[in-house]
Amino acid sequence: MRDKVNISNYSDKDPFQIIIGCFAIESNAKKLVKTIERKNKTAFTAGKNKKGLHIVSAGSSNSQDKAIELLKSVQKDYPNAWILNKSI
């Protein structure tokens, strides 16, 4: 189950996810979401990855170009953010 801050930029069906962080402890992922929310930005806990880590996402897109655009805007505050392509 994901915690939503602003669901308009996130869909489980979109293949491109903007990842801000992955955490072994779920409460740490939720803390990051709350920190981002206080900055009036968008973030979600987006389930777990194959290693069991809790994913924090800044949004998603069905277009690689739009995902790259979103990534660039997110990297201003989170330089280690990256794109997860769920379709591969």
User: Is the Cα dihedral 4, 38, 27, 50 positive or negative?
Assistant: positive
Model pLDDT, residue 11 = 66
Question: Phi-psi category of 28—alpha, beta or left, where left has phi over 0 and alpha has psi -120 to 50?
Answer: alpha
Average pLDDT value for the chain = 85
Model pLDDT, residue 40 = 85
- DSSP string for residues in 1-19: ---BS-GGG--TT-SEEEE
Give the domain ranges of the chain: 14-85
Give the pLDDT confidence of 40-55 residue by residue, as tens digits: 888 999 889 889 999 9
* Domain 14-85 = CATH 3.40.50.10490: no
User: Phi and psi for 44 in degrees, rounded to 5?
Assistant: -145, 150
